[in-house]
Homo-oligomer: A and B are copies of this chain.
């Protein structure tokens, strides 16, 4: 087991109607807040009014910045930073999914920095401090509600890059499963894929003695696999939505990565795809992950056998471990298909054109991944396997 520091101080407030408590939590950090959100759905659903009511009740002055898009853009982040600086904002409240929270995190870091916020994403500078962030989560997927990271897209060259710091973890996050009832099936499935990918990135490690975290990972994966078809069939099943929502947080709050070095190659490859094509992150992961698995499984067949057996109930064939490993990969791919995800680039209309560019851009700062270090040629082969 590797040495580690685990410090996740996000206060999770989980349950029905809990968004009405957001004012009480927010006022702890100040009386001037930036309400950050995406499109109009928070308004049509009535969520905006409930959140506003709770904030106003506490005498909070609310500034607003809507318009966050999926794969959130650095241009809006810069706008948010200016707005916060001008108005001495004390807390950013993100109401939405991972894109809104990630955008809020980037703003929160940028407010405390004199240079351009993109410096953090290019590795030119490191985040040291942030404005406090609060969350009302509407899409269980990215795990950003208690994670320390953010992913932002720069329209200038369509780079999609990540950065992180412990100060970026939201101070509090409100999780009401009822808010996810209206998520369309495709978006629900993308979220499910994203949270599974967060666990898989941590699961495929070269660290040998990580049984506790292995088993916690397997338990979370099995839960998601069990409840995914239930929420897709019955979107208003509270208990199923609750299991999926809480799993999405656990998948990415860093507990499942303690004591080990995760991979993250598939996420980085996906960022190249959705940086150029603007497809949903979850859909991109459903395409990349099975291809990545097929490309790397021989690096540690036993780990893939354990995955097949403990997560997918594939019986271990001691005379043909590779067959067992491949059966687990097949089950993963079939599962993504079963929840309506694409598993090939062709399905989402992505052809040969930019594959070379993605492989090059993805590796221009060094090889991707840790389980297996992927050079440009490896990434290109994985993208070809995903065609």
Contact = CB atoms under 8 A, between A and B. Distances in A.
Given A242-B209, A247-B212, A11 B7 contact: yes
A222 B226 contact: no
Interface stretch (A13-21, A109-117, A126-134, A328-336): A13-21
Contact of A246 (B16, B240, B259): B259
A215 interface: yes
A1 B16 CA distance: 10
Contacts of A220: 212, 215-216
Interface string A223-234: 100110000000
Contact of A227 (B9, B211, B223): B211
A215 B209 contact: no
Given A216-B220, A223-B212, A223-B215, A12 B5 contact: yes
Q: How large is the interface on A (under 10, 10 to 19, 20 to 34, 35 or more residues)?
A: 35 or more
B14 A250 contact: no
A6 interface: yes
A175 B11 CA distance: 23
A3 interface: yes
A15 B4 contact: yes
Contacts of A30: none
Contact of A216 (B5, B211, B219, B242): B219
A226 B209 CA distance: 12
A125 to B, nearest CB: 24
Nearest to A6: B12
Interface string A1-41: 11111111111111110100000000000000000000000
Interface centre among A13, A212, A216, A222 (most CB of B within 10 A): A212
A243 interface: yes
A216 to B, nearest CB: 5
Given A1-B239, A6-B12, A246-B258, A219 B215 contact: yes
Interface in A233-253: 238-240, 242-243, 246-247, 250
A243 B14 contact: no
A18 B5 CA distance: 10
A202 to B, nearest CB: 14
Given A5-B13, A6-B12, A8-B8, A215 B211 contact: no
Contacts of A258: 12, 14, 246
5 contacts: A1-B238, A6-B14, A12-B258, A209-B243, A218-B219
Given A1-B243, A5-B12, A212-B220, 13 more contacts: A1-B246, A3-B14, A5-B13, A6-B12, A6-B14, A7-B12, A14-B259, A211-B227, A212-B223, A215-B218, A215-B223, A246-B258, A255-B255
- The 9 A-B residue pairs with the shortest CB-CB distance in the complex, in nearest-first order: A3-B15, A215-B219, A9-B9, A209-B239, A7-B11, A6-B12, A1-B242, A212-B223, A219-B219
